[in-house]
Amino acid sequence: MGRAGFDIVRSTDNRGGVDDFIPFEATVRAARAAGLSVGDYIDEVMNGTPGATRSTIDELRGRGVYADGPRTLLEIGPGSGRYLEKTLQECSPQRYEIYETAAPWAGYLVETFGVVARPTEGSSLAPTPDASVDLVQAHKVFNTVTFLCAVRYFHEMARVVRPGGRIVFDVMTETCLDPAAVGTWVREGGSGHDSFPAAMPRAVCVDLFDSLGCTLESSFLAPLGVATTEVLVFARKP
């Protein structure tokens, strides 16, 4: 192999996810040393945005997302679990399913929070039955994946949510992309991940979910990298 120009080396870090998004072992170790939960460590220390996750959860609570006490939750791409951890402070589900491509993070979430990790093929929620979930969510995922991956997941989210249930996710829509924001991304964006940040037209989401029986209830902006992303809250028609 060496003569052919290849070396076989043992991988020493447990980076996971489509974009090697956050190294698992180093982050968990650093959070423990700082005396913070992994989620708070990422917000406060790694991202320099203390309270960022909490503010989105507070917005969702204000919009009644947890008011009915969702019993079955599903999250796509929970990663470190920073939204998962805070969601569990708002409600006490009987079942919390995750679909996560980064195996080390998925294992950590199963051990730490008792969630159920489903086999994650990449854009399908096939193991989850139709109309079986009260709250389906994904945070900071659909601005890191391709258009096709996102819209395939959108179809699946509409399939698994039960009538009256909710779907919550963020996308970088045109609301977040005025010329000043685009300029900021041009000057300061780019963390080496080719697929980040991916944009998604707002009307595509609203029209698609409407065609799948889900109505846009509300939306708000949240921080994303050097600018913002738009959180959309849909309700499945009863």
Q: How far is the CB of 140 from ligand SAM (least distance, A)?
A: 4
- Only segment of 10-18, 64-72, 126-134, 198-206 that touches ligand SAM (CB under 6 A): 10-18
Q: Which of 157, 161 has the CB closer to ligand SAM?
A: 157
Pick the closer one to ligand SAM by CB: 102 or 176. 102
Tell me which residue of 172, 166, 168, 200 sits closest to 185, measured CA to CA.
Answer: 172
CA distance 160 to 126: 9
Q: Is 18 in the site for ligand SAM (CB under 6 A)?
A: yes
**Sequence-ordered list of residues with C-beta below 8 angstroms from that of 39, at least 6 positions apart, any chain:** 53, 80, 81, 82, 83, 85, 86
Of the two residues 50 and 163, which places its CB atom closer to ligand SAM in the complex? 50
Q: Locate 147 and state its tokens.
A: 């258009």
**Minimum distance of ligand SAM from residue 175's CB (angstroms):** 19
DSSP-based three-state secondary structure for 185: helix
Minimum gap (Å) between residue 7 Cβ and ligand SAM: 27
Binding mask 123-152 for ligand SAM (x = CB under 6 A): x---------------xxx--xx---x---
- DSSP state, residue 225: T
**SS3 state at 165:** strand
By the 8 A CB rule, do 144 and 176 touch? no
Among the candidate windows 1-9, 115-123, 176-184, 217-225, which touches ligand SAM by CB under 6 A?
115-123
> DSSP string of 116-164?
EEPP--SS--TTSPTT-EEEEEESS-TTSS-HHHHHHHHHHHHHHEEEE
Binding residue for ligand SAM, selected from 41, 83, 169, 185, defined by CB under 6 A: 83
Which residues within the stretch 183-202 sit at the binding site for ligand SAM (CB under 6 A)?
Answer: none
Q: Which is nearer to ligand SAM, 213 or 223 (CB)?
A: 223
- Please report where in the chains the tokens 């080390």 appear, as a residue: 104
Q: Does 122 bind ligand SAM (CB under 6 A)?
A: yes
Q: Which amino acid, residue 16?
A: G
Interacting residue ranges for ligand SAM, rule: CB under 6 A: 16-18, 21, 76-80, 82-83, 99-102, 105, 120, 122-123, 139-141, 144-145, 149
